[in-house]
Structure 1
Amino acid sequence: MKQSDFYDYRIPDRDKCVVRYLIDRWAAETPDKVYVQFEDGDAWTFAELKERVIRVAAGFQKQGVKQGETVAVWLPNGPDALLAFYALNYIGAIFVPFNTAYRGNMLRHVIDNSDASIIVVHKDLVPRLTEIDLANLKVQILSGGGSDVDTGLKSHFFDDLKHSTNELTPLIRPIDPWDPQSIIYTSGTTGPSKGVLSSYLHMFSNAGPETWPMVTHEDRYLVAAPLFHIGGMAPPFVMLVRGASFALLSGFSTDKFWAAAKKSKATVVFLLGVMATFLMKQPKSEHDKKHGVKKAFMVPLSDDALAFNERFGIDIYTIFNMTEISSPIVSEPNPSVRGTCGKVRPGVEVRLVDSNDCEVPVGQVGEMIVRTDRPWGMNSGYYKNSEATAEAWRNGWFHTGDAFRQNESGYFYFVDRIKDAIRRRGENISSFEVEAEICSHPAVKEAAAIGVPSEATEDDVMAIISIVEGAEIDLKALCEFLVNRMPYYMVPRYIRIVDALPKTPTEKVQKSQLRIEGLTSDTWDRDKSGLRFSREVLGQN
């Protein structure tokens, strides 16, 4: 199959972008090709995938699930999560995955917002349902066995769905490319989580060859991110579009990653956040290149990208994406430009603008706004949140909330989430850039930079770091290391060492929690240690 076979800015045929018809297509064309391999070694061909999906889909229909309805899915990675995803889409229902870390008010909010009356839930998560108002929920379908906890919901077993007959109720109408495919909830760092409504065309635009030309039907994608996150949900669809295969892990493990890659015969991996840093800071081994992986997406692109390429023998790419958009910025292999996210891919327009949506000059920082030339190529809005939708889509462009700059050659550089930017004595500071420089120290495993109130005015910079196992660090020496790599005003005044940074299951650092904790009793103060930096002393302009 050639890339041009399904590369088209117009609306593609259903069998090139809609889950149901993609499964039917590959089961007919390549029935014996393996589509998915699981952590325990079990593997399903496209023919087996279709058979299993149809049985679960018929089971959902017997539970009353109709085309166009939402169904909540609250599962860890594994066969049941994948079957729920595809079976719901197979009957035209909307897949609504929940983060397995949710509980309390966050869980109550997404259940209420989703309008779901049925939830597929792992038995170990059931006790959390008793802590909240279950809104419209009426039925729970239990994965992983039974539960003794009484939620007041009518209970069924997912295993029973897997053994349903394959007699499907006919669809009301064919599933169209612009029909809703999923609602994925964002992290909710600035308020209640927002449900990103995506069509099949949105998913296809994020998966197709204009976005991922380096991924082919011969590849196998190793997926370690959770399926309730776009970073875990998109790769299986990327490979389904191509008639290719993927391997699904329960999660990312530094110690087990390369062994899993080798065992699964993966050729493509996605390294999000600190994953690449963790792998680089492992002791070197004669087995570093004995894995079979050819391509890796490193997001963000670190200073260690070239070293990673040389050590592990893998071509490195980077992108910029978020749940709401469709990877508008993609790099060439092994980009030599430090810190870039790449250039604009075909099919999208990107502008960097000020607070009035006026374009900023090249080289200046502005918010990235995006639009596509394919209808339905990005999100269809925030579910049941018209105000947030209107705000994000104002003036006909989607506003990412991310600050970037662009150079004369067209390369884009991520500066910061606008809400995470730090302002110290008139200087705007990118927390992202501070973190990148701190992590370049060999003893630092990971870092987060936040602003804390200053007794003078605005903010002081605080860094929260964790240390590589077995390493030691002198905080004065760390600051002296940093002052030779960044402007003096960016060097953290406060540093706190923790065992690990608080994260969501999608490996995003929970900066909101760090801001709440603020200056703790174990926080080191550079000023009180007598180590002060200034423009005059350093000769920096």
Structure 2
Amino acid sequence: MTAGRVPDRDTCVLRNLVDRHAAATPDKPFAVTPEGATITYAGLRARVRAMAGALQRLGVAQGDHVLVWLPNGLDGLVTWFAINYAGAVYVPINTAYRGGILEHVVRNSGARLMIAHGQLAGRLAEIATAALTRVVVAAGDRPALPGLEVLGAEALAGDGAVADLDRPVEPWDTQSIIYTSGTTGPSKGVLSSYAHLHAMGTSLAADREGRSFIGPDDRFMVNLPMFHVGGTAPTYAMLVAGGSIALLEAFDTASFWRTVEATQTTVVILLGVMASFLVKEPVRPGERQTPLRNAIVIPFAAEGITFRERFGVTTRTLFNMSEVSCPLIADENPTVVATCGKPRRGVQLRLVDAHDVEVAQGEIGELVIRTDQPWALNHGYNGNPEATASAWRNGWFHTGDAFRVDGDGNYFFVDRFKDAIRRRGENVSSFEVELEVCAHPAVREAAAVAVPSEFGEDEILVALSLAEGHTLDPADLIAFLRPRMAHFMVPRYVRILDDLPKTPTRKVEKYLVRQSGITPDTWDREKAGIAVRREKLSG
């Protein structure tokens, strides 16, 4: 892609891509499921056009917002594509939402039509539904929803006739509104263009110079939800490449390798603790004989290196969020733990202070971004001009993430600024504490948060869950951590849980850990008589 240019419609816009691949490779699979279902490019186009025509007859016009509340699956995939094919905007909802956050998203979307699973749609009876007037239940039983017209799946059937659009869909048109996880505040609706999703998907599957490591013969496992860029970006990457996806409802450790084999998956994203879960599974005979060739491990903890060595798979890592397009990419098979990589071609990055002044090398600053290609980043937050202006101030997109860069140009995520911990006059990265805690063989996952100290500032609490078959004495964990981290980073409190609270995208909901605070079952290092102090230097 030439700097300053956007991709053309035929290589960027979903409607054009579906038509082009269906004509060129009609019998080639685009999506397969572990259960054995397959949809070819020609079959995809036929189903998408049938639903797009039905949506038009339901009153959906070009540019309208359409809410989608479905789990991962072929129905959800076709629904997304049909909305875009009709020139409308895809607005997926987190399947865990209910109550206040659901009401917020429905209101913010401004949508009049929702396509939902019946079991989820029943939650609408508990909230004010704003502009929403009609719900199509694509699967499951139809709930009674006073004040809303509720239709069955037959309303989405059609003969493939699609009315002409008012104008061609352009790369800069809004393709989707993806809502942020909302772990630190109300979810914001990220406005994403076709050019943005194209940039995200193609960068996800490329090196820093833009050379793709996937092709038409690759199959990307989509095990993250379609209401998240973890699900939409790889799907779009394969649509652009003319490849295929293995579509799963969710990641599952126990069945992961069987699913890789059954679906002939060649590429996967392992987000959060997925890689840790897999490397802590018992060794299996022949586990290196697998079709999987590339694993994108985010974040890149020590388990990323172990994963490569154990399974013989090329590992990669990068930094991304809903608003950007993979601005940081590491070289293949990275060896620097916790790296996010270096800037990819076409992006400019700075680390800045609260006044947007660049910080010195080695200091921590907020990552801000801009790109050579127009529309390769988000174009704001839906219905939230204040958040848009704040994020885009001074001509740069502000990520809200604290980073540092080393002398070799490697960027390291330090923390969300809202998750930072201040202890004994030192700033502590919760992310770096979690990396070291998770290095213990008994620990499956961990979340470090600040809790109040009787002396002011913060104390550090680590909530963790254990790997299968392991037990852990918190005192042994402290002994493990002391030689691995600065004294002020060693947690005072340890709480062991069966599982940490998470969003459906497997992000730990730290605010819930923080709200729970010091519970009766929390272990206190100081009450146990274990003091951790600065090492005295002789001389």
Pairwise TM-score range, normalised by the shorter structure? over 0.9
Contact 1:211 1:345 in 2 (8 A): no
Alignment of 1:264-303 (within 5 A): 264-303=263-302
Structure 1 residues 230-260: Cα deviation after superposition (integer angstroms, max 9, x where no partner): 1011111010011111110010100011111
Query: What residue number does 1:3 align with?
Result: none
Q: Distance in 1 between matches of 2:464 and 2:204?
A: 38
Decide which of 106, 109, 117 is 1:111's aligned counterpart. Answer: 106
In structure 2, the residue corresponding to 1:49 is in which secondary structure? helix
Query: What residue number does 1:256 align with?
Result: 255
Structure 1 residues 175-232: Cα deviation after superposition (integer angstroms, max 9, x where no partner): 0000000001112233211100000011111122586222222211001000001101
**Residue 33 in structure 1 maps to residue 33 in structure 2:** no
Query: What residue number does 1:448 align with?
Result: 447
Alignment of 1:26-65 (within 5 A): 26-65=21-60
Q: Distance in 2 between matches of 1:409 and 1:518?
A: 39
Structure 1 residues 191, 148: closer, same or farther in 2, change over 3 A? Answer: closer
2:9 corresponds to which letter in structure 1?
Answer: R
Alignment of 1:302-381 (within 5 A): 302-381=301-380
Contact 2:66 2:111 in 1 (8 A): yes
Instruction: For residue 474 of structure 1, report the CA deviation from its aligned partner.
Output: 1.2
Query: What residue number does 1:475 align with?
Result: 474
Query: What residue number does 1:168 align with?
Result: 162
Query: What residue number does 1:202 align with?
Result: 196
TM-score for the superposition, normalised by structure 1: 0.96
2:464 corresponds to which letter in structure 1?
Answer: I
In structure 2, the residue corresponding to 1:446 is in which secondary structure? strand
Alignment of 1:69-218 (within 5 A): 69-161=64-156, 163-208=157-202, 212=206, 213-218=212-217
Alpha carbon RMSD of aligned pairs, Å? 1.5
Q: Distance in 2 between matches of 1:540 and 1:418?
A: 37
Q: Distance in 2 between matches of 1:151 and 1:493?
A: 52
Structure 1 residues 526, 210: closer, same or farther in 2, change over 3 A? Answer: closer
Instruction: For residue 13 of structure 1, report the CA deviation from its aligned partner.
Output: 1.4
Q: Distance in 1 between matches of 2:38 and 2:442?
A: 40
1:194 corresponds to which letter in structure 2?
Answer: K
Query: What residue number does 1:501 align with?
Result: 500
Instruction: For residue 284 of structure 1, report the CA deviation from its aligned partner.
Output: 1.0
Q: Any gaps of 5 or more consecutive residues in structure 1?
A: 1-5
Instruction: For residue 149 of structure 1, report the CA deviation from its aligned partner.
Output: 2.9
Structure 1 residues 243, 425: closer, same or farther in 2, change over 3 A? Answer: same
Q: Distance in 1 between matches of 2:154 and 2:437?
A: 48
2:89 corresponds to which letter in structure 1?
Answer: I
In structure 1, the residue corresponding to 2:422 is in which secondary structure? strand
1:176 corresponds to which letter in structure 2?
Answer: E
Structure 1 residues 278, 140: closer, same or farther in 2, change over 3 A? Answer: same
Structure 1 residues 431, 209: closer, same or farther in 2, change over 3 A? Answer: closer
Q: Which moved more, 1:60-69 or 1:34-43?
A: 34-43
Structure 1 residues 7, 302: closer, same or farther in 2, change over 3 A? Answer: farther
Instruction: For residue 438 of structure 1, report the CA deviation from its aligned partner.
Output: 0.4
Q: Distance in 1 between matches of 2:462 and 2:390?
A: 32
Instruction: For residue 126 of structure 1, report the CA deviation from its aligned partner.
Output: 2.0
Contact 1:17 1:241 in 2 (8 A): yes
Contact 1:451 1:461 in 2 (8 A): yes
Q: Distance in 1 between matches of 2:154 and 2:334?
A: 47
Q: Which moved more, 1:19-28 or 1:38-47?
A: 38-47
Instruction: For residue 159 of structure 1, report the CA deviation from its aligned partner.
Output: 4.5
Contact 1:487 1:540 in 2 (8 A): no
Structure 1 residues 200, 416: closer, same or farther in 2, change over 3 A? Answer: same
Q: Which moved more, 1:63-72 or 1:206-215?
A: 206-215
In structure 2, the residue corresponding to 1:35 is in which secondary structure? strand
Deviating 4+ runs (over 4 angstroms): 6-9
Q: Any gaps of 5 or more consecutive residues in structure 2?
A: 207-211
2:67 corresponds to which letter in structure 1?
Answer: A
Percent of pairs identical after alignment?
A: 50
Contact 1:205 1:211 in 2 (8 A): no
TM-score for the superposition, normalised by structure 2: 0.97
Decide which of 5, 8, 17 is 1:13's aligned counterpart. Answer: 8
Q: Distance in 2 between matches of 1:86 and 1:210?
A: 20
Contact 2:203 2:326 in 1 (8 A): no
1:95 corresponds to which letter in structure 2?
Answer: Y
Contact 2:500 2:508 in 1 (8 A): yes
Q: Which moved more, 1:11-20 or 1:205-214?
A: 205-214
Q: Distance in 1 between matches of 2:467 and 2:305?
A: 21
Q: Distance in 2 between matches of 1:89 and 1:20?
A: 7
Q: Which moved more, 1:56-65 or 1:34-43?
A: 34-43
Structure 1 residues 122, 210: closer, same or farther in 2, change over 3 A? Answer: closer
In structure 1, the residue corresponding to 2:253 is in which secondary structure? coil
Instruction: For residue 540 of structure 1, report the CA deviation from its aligned partner.
Output: 11
Query: What residue number does 2:534 align with?
Result: 535
Instruction: For residue 146 of structure 1, report the CA deviation from its aligned partner.
Output: 2.9
Query: What residue number does 2:411 align with?
Result: 412
